[in-house]
Amino acid sequence: MALNKAVYQYQQNSIMTATPEELTLMLYNGCIKGIKMTKIAIEDNDYEKGNYYICKAQAIIRELRATLDMKYEISKNLYDLYTYFLDRLIEANVKKDTQILDEVVGFVTELRDTWAEAMKDARIKQSGKIPAKEV
């Protein structure tokens, strides 16, 4: 019980002290986890659990979509992409189709990895250090 409380407190502290960029990365990771857990649940014929996790993934994607700053062209593209993900997750849930889950988790993983790389590049630029590969 004490361990669960400590883990929960750590998670809460991580969220409360995270930058907006880190929160976005956490959302991507949470979405990926939700989709992967959905796939496991479907494969185990535990549709109630699968529905629970896919709803969590959908909520995360809705949050990512809602926080876009639409004055940028990339935001419009991401909005359309997130809408596509939501449509596909709904279809996967209705059909219990793990191939659709694989498709969406692949796209979300790619976005997460790109986001993480952009965060790394931004930190390097802020620090004024030149990456070793550019020297």
Question: What residue segments make up the domains of the chain, in order of their start?
Answer: 20-125
pLDDT (0 to 100) of residue 134: 53
**What angle in degrees, to the nearest 10, is found between the helix axes of 20-43 and 73-95?**
20
From CA 41, how far away is CA 85, in angstroms rounded?
Answer: 19
Contact 81, 112 (CB under 8 A): no
Per-residue pLDDT of the chain (135 residues; tens, 9 = 90+): 776 776 666 666 666 778 989 999 999 999 999 999 999 999 999 999 999 999 999 999 999 999 999 999 999 999 999 999 999 999 999 999 999 999 999 999 999 999 999 999 888 888 776 655 554
CATH domain 20-125 topology: Four Helix Bundle (Hemerythrin (Met), subunit A) (1.20.120)
| pLDDT value at residue 13 | 66
